[in-house]
Structures are given as structure tokens and as C-alpha cells.
A and B are shown apart, each in its own frame.
Chain A
Amino acid sequence: MSTSILQVRDLHVEFNGVKAADGVSLDINEGEFLAVIGPNGSGKTTLLNLCTGYVRPKSGSIHLDGRAITGLTPRAITRRGVARAFQIPQLFSDQSVLDNMMLALAAKDGLWTMVRPLAQPARREEATALLDLVGLRDDKNRVSRTLPEGHRKLLDIAVALALKPRLLLLDEPTSGVSTLERFSLMEALMSALRSRNITALFVEHDMDVVARYANRVLVWNAGTVMAQGHPDEVFKDERVLKNVVGVA
């Protein structure tokens, strides 16, 4: 039986009376690739915000490897091994693609021991290898704000991977990525996750991507988990077909 690395229990949060999480409990098991699907505005991104400390729950608890992380800051949770890629890429737009990567690698190494220049040969090599993985090698010297949206998305994912997380939370990783590049990105991502033993949760609207890559699907609707299970089972569920897949 696989071990649960993230345990969410009876989570409640609401914004102006709208319940984004209404007594949610869930587990993320080590090594799995868990997809979260649901209509727009159902609270999927809020789940990521809660798990990373960006939003504090009204009640309930979140444990990482059995240790409570409820109420910790995003910084503290990141340092415990949870990384995040965003729906709207969060980059250092004035810095080069390579510098974005090297800063992430330096942050992982511990910024305070770093008095030497950012561009160490080993760090540059590691950053270039990760950029290679997501197909951004040719863009490495470009200032990140000049990248097309799809490439910014890829860089955001590469930055999260540079943190060598145990758990990676991805918010719509394929949105903004061209149809042609979508599956090659997912293949590269899956390969990176497997080779680095990274567990991942990803919010996704593309059901083809979900069906092909997720080990388990969690259906989020109106702040609750409507269904969960293997993609084949979930996509046969009438309620899911009617309320989520048809509109997601």
C-alpha cells in the first residue's frame, strides 16, 4: 500500500459567503500523479493555495508527511519540499531565462551560504539540463518577459522542478501551450517526475491529458470532492459527465 504524503482533513474556507472548500478531506499518495478537475470557479486553485499556505483555512488541517503545515507561510512550506507552478506563470520578468533557473537552484541550495556569483559552472549546467528537459534550451539567454506565453509556462514548471520538490503542485500545466507541444511537454514532465521520485497534483481542464497521464482523478465541484478514482471509472460516472466533463 502506498504512503500518503499529504493529508487534508475537513477543510473549510469561504470567500464572501461562497464556499471554496466545504469540509474537504483527501490524501495524496507517494509517487502518484493526481489530477484535479472541475468547472471554472469551483475552488481548484484555492486547493493549491491552501496546500501552499497562500490561503489559510477557516478550519481543518493539512499535514505533510504527518507534520502539520496548516497556517505556515508559502516560504516555510516550500522549504519542506512542496513546489508550485502557477496558472499564470510567476517569473522574474526582467531576468534571463537562465537566471530565473539559477536563482531557483541557488534558493534550493540555501541563499545564505551563497556569497559566490550566481552563475557557478555546475549550477549553469544543471539549469541548462532542466531547460533542455522542457525544451527551452534555445531561449536560455532571452529575457523571460519576451517569451511567448506557452514558453513562460514551461519556464514556470522548470523553476518549480529546480527546487527538487517531493510534492509538485501544477495549476493547468498545459494551458497556453500549443496543441502540438502539449503531449511532448507532458511526456517530458512525466519522465522528470518519475526519474526524480516527485509526487504531483495537477489541476487540468484538458480531459485527454487527464485520461492519458493521471493515476487518479479527483472531481472538485462547488468546494467538495464529488468523485475520485481511476480516470476510466471517474469518466463513466454520470454525475461527473453531466456536471463536470461536459463543462470543464
Chain B
Amino acid sequence: MRAILLIGAIFAIVVAPMAAPWLQFVLTMAIAKGLAALGVAVLLRAGMISIGHAMFFAASAYGVAFLARGGVSDFGLLLVLSVAITGLAGAVVGAFLIRYRAIFFAMLNLAVSMVFYALFAKLYGVTGGTDGMTIPVPTMFGIVLSEPTFKAILFYGSVALMVVVGLAVHRYLDSPLGHALSAVHTNEVRLEYLGVPVWAVLLVAYIVSAVLAGLGGAIAGFAIGRVVPDFAFWTASGHLVLVAVLGGIGGVPGAFIGAFFLELLHTEAAAFTDAWNLIVGAALIGVIMFLPKGLYGLLTRSEVSAK
């Protein structure tokens, strides 16, 4: 039942821009944020809240911009290299931060992300400061594309990436390594007494989460055509936590459900009022009060009650 619903939802996402072309950009951004929120959700499995993952989102987008400036123009190469750089940054930052738990982990992520933000904003000669950097339309297999063609390819490519990456993360969470990640949350002592290195479990999770945020950041950079320091600002990190909690961390689709819900709600609410944050806030309060497992919990709950 759940699988049918998810396949139906993906089909709806694929055909929606054909009926309403303006949705193409909104949905591309929702997928980008969904991927990054999935990274945050992976860490939430271990009970660790990162209020700094926008740094990886931004680092990857800046990576694309720098590589493009350096002469790399192929879409695939830009994506792979920028995400690899982000994964490396995740390994370095993660090696220090996984020693901490609870509020200390959250705050240190926030602190490091603000260092990233400050560097992006202040190194004017390198990063363009608050003006940011442009990301030109890349080539694909040597073919020069028009912007509308590239944006359409980016959208459908993002949908495919969402499915493939979603399945891979599902597999990871279902593996012993993924179960060990949840076990960190409940009993680190027993995990050590099983002979499992907790630091390695967390470092792998941190790198996976950085790579997911990096994938999202690269897609967002391509979709917008520009990267600015605000990509790394703490409110952007908070937004990713919001998306993850709203969607629910019980399964991989949760992060994407949260992202689609929030992007569409934001787009619709902003059309009516400037105080769209009020509507988004009310929706979040409603979910936290009535759906502790997030929007995805609705799907799993209906499935349990149907058994």
C-alpha cells in the first residue's frame, strides 16, 4: 500500500510541471532541500540534531561555482566533484564533532556553519561576498544546452536522483550499520560492549549526511544559477531540521514529504500574505502536537491500522 502511494506520488511529481510549468522550479528546490533534510534526518536517527548542515549545502554549491570558474563545464563532473569535496569536508568536520552529544553537538555544528558563512560573506575577492557567485548553465557530454532545456533535465534528473539516493539510504538504514546508528541513541554502552566502534558508526553517518546535503546544495545552485552566503546561514540549517521533523524521521520518504509540503505551502502562502511564516509555523505546531512521527507517520499509521 505504502509503495503504491509512493510510486503514485513520484508519478504526480513527474507530470505536475507539464500541467503547471511554474512548479518545475518549486519541485526542483523541494527535492534539493529534501535531500539535505534527509542528511539531517540520518543524524536524527542517532538522536543528534545538527543546526549547521546548511554549511554542506552551501559548500557544494560554492564548489560547483568554483569548479565552473576553473573551467569545468560538464554537469556530471561538476556534480560528482562538488559532492566529493563536500563529503571530504564532512569527514574533516565530522571527525571533530562526533565526539559531542546533545546540545553541544547541535551548537558546535551551528558554530562551524557560521564560520563557513562568515568566510563566504567576507572573502569578497574570492567568493564575491554577499553578491555570491554565478553558476553558469553547464554542458552535458559536450553538448551546449539552452537554459530551459537544462532546467528541465535538472528537474527530471533530480527526481531520478531522489529515487536512487532514497533507495540507497533506505538500504543503509536497514543494514547493521544503520541499526547501529539508531542504537547509539538508545544505548551507546551496549554498542561498545558488542565490540562496535561508536565513533566509526557516527563518522560514516556524518559523511553520509554531508554528502546528502551536498547533493541538495549542488542541485539548488544549478536551479537558481547563483550561490550566496545565505545558503550557509543558520536559519537555512534550522529550515532543514524543520523539514526533517515535519516530514518525520521514521523513513526515507519523510524528508521529501516534509520538503514538498513546506515548499508548496510556502509558495501558496506567500501568494496570499507576507506573513507566510505564520502559516508555516502554525502547520509545524500542528504536526508536532498531533503527529509526533511527522507527516510520514500518517502513511505508516494508516498501514498499521489496515493490518
Contacts and interface: CB of A to CB of B under 8 A. Distances in A.
Contacts of B195: 75, 78-79, 107-108, 163
A114 interface: yes
Contact of B176 (A79, A84, A106): A106
Interface stretch (A17-25, A92-100, A200-208, A215-223): A92-100
Contacts of A52: 193
Contact of A93 (B186, B189, B201): B186
Contacts of B192: 73-75, 78
Given A78-B193, A111-B196, A103 B186 contact: no
B187 A83 contact: no
A94 B196 CA distance: 18
B286 interface: no
Nearest to A107: B194
A107 B177 CA distance: 9
B307 to A, nearest CB: 13
Interface stretch (A37-45, A115-123, A231-239): A115-123
Contact of A95 (B183, B193, B194, B201): B183
Interface in A90-147: 90-95, 99, 102-104, 106-108, 111-112, 114-119
Contacts of B182: 92, 94-95
A39 B112 CA distance: 51
A98 to B, nearest CB: 11
A159 interface: yes
Contacts of B175: 114-118
B194 A104 contact: yes
Given A74-B193, A90-B190, A104-B194, A117 B174 contact: yes
B76 interface: no
A52 B182 CA distance: 24
Nearest to B189: A90
A163 B194 contact: yes
Interface in B154-171: 171
Contacts of A84: 193
B69 interface: no
Given A90-B189, A94-B182, A118 B176 contact: yes
Interface in B233-274: none
B179 interface: yes
Contacts of A108: 194-195
Interface residues of B, number: 23
Contacts of B292: none
Nearest to A76: B195
B251 to A, nearest CB: 15
Nearest to A117: B174
A111 B176 contact: yes
Nearest to A84: B193
B180 interface: yes
Contacts of B186: 91-95
A66 to B, nearest CB: 21
Contacts of A75: 192-193, 195-197
A117 B177 CA distance: 9
A104 B190 CA distance: 10
Contacts of A83: 193
Contacts of B201: 111
Nearest to A145: B186
B176 A103 contact: yes
Contacts of B200: 112
A114 B201 CA distance: 12
B179 A91 contact: no
Contacts of A114: 175-177
A73 B198 CA distance: 12
B122 interface: no
A167 to B, nearest CB: 13
B300 to A, nearest CB: 15
A191 B190 CA distance: 25
B197 to A, nearest CB: 6
B185 interface: yes
Given A111-B196, A118-B176, 8 more contacts: A74-B189, A78-B193, A90-B187, A90-B193, A91-B186, A93-B187, A117-B175, A118-B175
Interface of B: 171, 174-180, 182-183, 185-187, 189-190, 192-197, 200-201
24 contacts: A74-B192, A75-B192, A75-B195, A78-B193, A90-B187, A90-B193, A92-B187, A92-B190, A95-B186, A99-B179, A102-B179, A103-B176, A107-B176, A107-B194, A108-B194, A108-B195, A111-B180, A111-B196, A111-B201, A112-B200, A114-B176, A115-B175, A116-B175, A163-B194
Please provide the 9 A-B residue pairs with the shortest distance between their CB atoms, ordered closest to farther: A106-B176, A107-B194, A78-B195, A90-B190, A114-B176, A79-B195, A92-B183, A117-B174, A74-B192
Interface of A: 52, 73-75, 78-79, 83-84, 90-95, 99, 102-104, 106-108, 111-112, 114-119, 159, 163
